[in-house]
Amino acid sequence: MIRNPVLPGFHPDPSIVRVGEDYYLATSTFEWFPGVRVHHSRDLVHWRPLGGILTERRLLDLSGVPDSGGVWAPDLTYHDGLFHLVYGVMDDYALGYKDVANYLITAPAVEGPWSDPVRLPGRGFDASLYHEDGRSWLLNMVFDSRPGRGFSGIELRPLEGGEPELILPNREITEGPHLYRIDGWYYLMVAEGGTGYEHRVSVLRSRSMSGPYEDDPAGPMLTSRHDPGLELQKAGHGCLVRTQTGEWYLAHLAARPYGNRRCVLGRESALQRVVWEDGWPRVAGGVPAVEVPAPALPAHPWQDDGSFALDRDWSTLRRPATPDWLTADPGGLTVRGGQSPYGLRSPSLVARRVTSRTCSLEAVMRFTPEGVHQSAGITAYYNSRNWHYLALTTDGLVLTTSDRGVRTERLLGPAEGEVRLRVEFDGPAVRFNHGPDLDATILSDEYADEFSDGMARAFGFTGAFVGFWVQDLAGEGCSARFERIAYP
């Protein structure tokens, strides 16, 4: 059986592709490096992380992007012996505008080397490619920044050049398009209803690539919106794959809320079995299942040796992991200090996704602050406005919470030199060392959303992280060493 989510924790907007016997699942990464995280499988049951594709500034610049900006909804396809990756970089989304640029890179293998990015045309985000008979087409949703407009439908244009066509008008926040040709029909799969609890996957079809497209009369292919009792909520943003044995599966995002309907783990990736009925691809009951029959493929488990793998399991915030500020060796990590917790250009935070309601991260830190501008420690982090942080400072161990930008501090006691650090998630509570229980649910997608007069000031798209953080506000060259790192 496939057990959902197949990628727990922050792994939204899955794009799945099969190349021979190999399956690759690419997901959004927003303000985190490396951009576009990829997992590999041979059986759709066992998935191993390969790390990220966009590992350097040549491919991605996240300096200054807002919380939940950066890489939105990548699309990974394979055509004429090359992997094609289309990704959008959202520089700003506030106050009714979407400053987004879409790019295309290619590589002979998913591990690279990847070509330099080519800027694509397109007047929106969630771009994807469709390949047919040696040609390629670009799809994307269209965004109109004029007051009262916004989402304006799905656009199609030849990648080699040509005028765009609006092939589907906006219905209800229509985005995330993917196009397939199967048995003489063109099937257009879109995400609708927004990324929250009204999310869904809709499928339409036409005899012509340009449309007109008609809806599946059975309704949405997948949604959780009518049943708050389902374990997997927010189901939407789908992508199809066909196995080498002729079976079909849908990759989609979903979320597992806590009792207050806050999703600390973020939006995760899941798989559903697809059956064809009356010429339409459908999921049983139109709802996401936690357990799904696996395809008729040989089991292909992989064994995690438990070793520390920075490039495979960890991410860095807004800048790539380069030796000028971060080095890893078999014994641990050395992190050179960066900006304040609210800095959007060069923070020094290395972290990994929270993948379970109960988990922990611990390490021994060696650090001596030489002034009030220096601190280092361990964090439970959502974005620049919502985090908990236990840091060694000149005052001792200080536990700080930022709740939508409002800081509160607790002095836990004296400490110096070598300190054992621990952060533990226990459902809706998070605790550090022997400190008090703190609210884990402020580290959730729903809590991070901030709106004013109906317009987004901040989105929450990323899920919670745990990691190590070092500040050096005066740029005086301090570093902290983290050893005996254990997760979970």
Residues involved in catalysis: 13, 175
H helix or E strand, kind and range, residue 377:
strand 374-383
CB 361 within 8 A of CB 377: no
Tell me the C-alpha to C-alpha distance, in Å, between residue 42 and each of 22, 295, 343.
Answer: 5, 10, 41
Among candidates 256, 291, 300, which has minimal Cα distance to 273? Answer: 291
CB 179 within 8 A of CB 188: yes
Is the Cα torsion angle 381, 383, 384, 385 positive or negative in sign? negative
Cα distance between residue 238 and residue 75, in whole Å: 11
Phi, psi of 384 (to 5 degrees): -65, -15
Buried b / exposed e over 435-465, threshold 16 CB at 10 Å, is: beebbbbbbbbbbbbbeeeeeeebbbbbbbb
CB 380 within 8 A of CB 466: yes
Query: Is the preceding peptide bond at 113 cis, omega within 30 degrees of 0?
Result: yes
H helix or E strand, kind and range, residue 446:
helix 445-448
Cα distance between residue 263 and residue 460, in whole Å: 10
| β partners of residue 38 | 26, 51
